[in-house]
Structure 1
């Protein structure tokens, strides 16, 4: 018994079905969806006490130092304080900020905080109070001496900037006739610094 030969059209259909099957096979291995991160995973809760960077104090003045604390997520910071020691002696204890002159210090930063979780009713349930601390060596550098500064009192300039510049645009040097009675607007390290700022020398000393 003779079998009928497949027609050309039947062969083309079979080839097309095979091609589609081969193309679709790799796609089946790819997941249909990728799960997006939840909101809770995106924002974690943490409190980090970081080192305070080296400070530079203005010349003959002090630099203000504050705690360096980073908090994020479901947390409420209750306090951030500093305890500062120099040569073993405590010079500040549990302060929100401390003004320090040039020198080397031992600084302890302490933070107290609470974390919370949300109930299904969106109500906050708080933890007990927690704390973290960090002790470090802190260097406060001395700033460069400027050529001008402000008076220390009504009639006096600082010893390192003794030249007086008054409101008339005249400067007076120590030993001058009117030096002691002159009320300075500004003080300068040298006469040349006063001239550079636009002041002229007193004609009467």
Structure 2
């Protein structure tokens, strides 16, 4: 039976330890953040054209429509405009906002913008101007018909609210309303106009004693 000297056993043990250390070393030096994106790479640059929701215009009037655009990240929006068509006819072209009455429209939103990147010195390097657009169908609903409104001129009420409310005195309850065909109807300057006599009475007016 052969005996191995302590020196030879120690040398083999040292060689085994060295080999294990070399195999394990690459694992030990791999950084924990390997593969993690930098702060600059993680920044999302995005320009989004969103749908304009259904609008409601006041009765016999218009509502204002504007582009619905969002931007985030390294970007600067230069312009946001609308082009509106109805039944093939252009209602507005490249406008920042458009006043529309009740109806169905084709609306194209266009946005121009620039993106940028940051240098190591935190300076902005801008891109050329970019553009994108999106077309949608927009419905503008008619608002509910009110019982009272304002005059359309000094002596006239709208046809849908023809009753003239005249505040001849400062005391509510003594105000007078005039109906079409009445004796003083044409020469009366209304402060308010009503759809019905009951609406005028509810607002504090009484009927004209002279018609």
> TM-score, normalising length from structure 1?
0.79
Q: 1:41 & 1:199 partners in 2: Cα distance?
A: 70
SS at the partner of 1:180? coil
Cα 1:179/1:43, change in 2 over 3 Å: farther
Structure 1 residue ranges without an equivalent (≥5): 1-32
Aligned match for 2:199, one of 181, 193, 202: 193
Q: Does 1:174 align with 2:180?
A: yes
Q: 2:43 & 2:177 partners in 1: Cα distance?
A: 62
Where does 1:131-170 land on structure 2 (aligned, <5 Å)? Answer: 131-168=131-168, 169-170=175-176
Where does 1:100-119 land on structure 2 (aligned, <5 Å)? Answer: 100-119=100-119
Tell me how far 1:42 sits from its aligned partner: 6.1
Where does 1:57-76 land on structure 2 (aligned, <5 Å)? Answer: 57-76=57-76
Q: 2:33 & 2:110 partners in 1: Cα distance?
A: 42
Tell me how far 1:117 sits from its aligned partner: 1.4
Structure 2 residue ranges without an equivalent (≥5): 1-31, 169-174
RMSD over aligned CA atoms reads 2.0
> TM-score, normalising length from structure 2?
0.77
Q: Does 1:203 align with 2:170?
A: no
SS at the partner of 1:133? strand
CA deviations on 1:84-135 (whole Å, 9 max, x unpaired) are 1111111111111111111111111000000111212221111110111101
Runs of 4+ in 1 over 3 A off after TM superposition: 33-43
Cα 1:125/1:191, change in 2 over 3 Å: same
